[in-house]
Amino acid sequence: MRILFVGDASNLHNCLAGALRQMGHEAVTASGGSVWMNTGRDINLLRGAGAMGAMKYLADIARALPRMRGFDVVHICSPIFLSLKPGKLKHIFNYLKRHNGKIVLSALGTDYVYYQACHDGHTFRYSDYMVGDRPSPYVDSTEYIAQHQDNWRRQFMKDYSDFILSNIDGAVACLYEYYAAYKPILGDKVAYAGIPIDTASLRPINLNEEPEKVRFFVGIQRDRNVVKGVDRLLAALKRVHAEMPDMCEIHDVENLPYTRYINEMRSSHVLLDQLYSYTPATNALLAMAQGLVAVSGAEPEYYDLIGETENKPIINVTPLIEGDIDDKLRRLVVDKAQLPALSRESREFVVKHNDARLVAQRHLDFWDTL
């Protein structure tokens, strides 16, 4: 098959394309490389700053469009698949639909459908936006304002979302949350595939005995610190470190390119990732594939979806219980003898559920049903 991926987030499309090529398919990626992560792509569509950057970006897209024809499947990275407003995106979407086969949506980030599910009062117990029946800290943050999150409740975004949903052939969700949001709307036209991880390229650390000190790794994304809950996770970790400074240490980094980021985490034992997630996302899975223990989301709904009943190595933290983060981090430090086993189980979990070729095959199977 010939597959085109337009847009990317956290290297998902690029990793998936690589696996499909290994399986004998032709796969092309056109993206901005997840901006500062600078992930791989075949067609560079990174938008520069200011008016000149916008003009060059439009010119780059115009030059790229003739190369984006004749594919069996086109996967767009969320409804906002390029760094343009809906009016311009409609024209590009129509071009892609006219000159290619099936158009499939990768449900892998915040969009109108996910935003509505977070606020409907019944899909999730908590989310980036709501914790129980109250707004999350993100809603009152400068991040929320800077990212124009209020646009998701506007009529023009609903109209654009309806346009995309009525014209795609199907959608593939990479997380439980996006599957839960899209399933009531698309029914059998949505599938869960998971996040692809190139496990063969990630050598696991050999943690054969408990470490003298537990080293925690925190990767900070400057513009996503509050939405991911890293601010609260790091604050809790600092409290635990203050209690037991001789038993643990903190290694935190900020906005590193993808390759360097992967290498930086290897010297640690535990990764702190997300607070408001039901599911381990790319960051946690990359760490687990290398044998780190992930502190992230791993709710029962997620394990039920993937059919896992035995190996549950992710340290699930919840924003609903006061002191939950502190208690679980403290337990990791005090009971550090459990880390070697959790390390092995974490690697096994990712190989079983998220290996890139496995996720790619799920995509191929789903495309055959459309």
DSSP string, 104-118: EEEE-S--HHHHHHH
Predicted confidence at residue 39, as pLDDT, reads 84
What pLDDT sits at residue 34? 80
CATH of range 2-196+356-369; options 2.40.110.10, 1.10.10.10, 3.20.20.70, 3.40.50.2000: 3.40.50.2000
Altogether, the residues listed in the chain come to a count of 370
pLDDT for the residue numbered 258: 76
Please state, in angstroms and rounded to a whole number, the distance separating the CA atoms of residues 31 and 43.
Answer: 6
b/e per residue 254-263 (b: at least 16 CB within 10 A): eebebeebbe
**Rounded distance, CA 279 to CA 317, Å?**
11
Domain spanning 199-354: CATH 3.40.50.2000: yes
CA–centroid distance for 355 within its chain = 15
Give the separation between CA 37 and CA 24, rounded to whole angstroms.
Answer: 27
Q: Look up the pTM and report it.
A: 0.95
pLDDT at 26: 98
- The per-residue pLDDT for 256 is 80
Which residues in the chain show pLDDT less than 50? none
- Kindly report, as residue ranges, where domains of CATH 3.40.50.2000 are found in the chain: 2-196+356-369, 199-354
Distance of CA 254 to the CA centre of its chain: 17
End-to-end CA distance of the chain: 14
- pLDDT score, position 36: 67
CB atoms within 10 A of CB 318: 16
Sign of the four-CA dihedral 354, 362, 125, 300: negative
Rounded to whole angstroms, the Cα distance separating 190 from 80 reads 18
Helix (H), strand (E) counts: the chain: 14, 14
Q: b/e per residue, 167-177, with b = 16+ CB within 10 A? A: ebbbbbbbbbb
Give the separation between CA 132 and CA 79, rounded to whole angstroms.
27
pLDDT value of residue 349: 98
Q: What is the CA radius of gyration of the chain?
A: 20
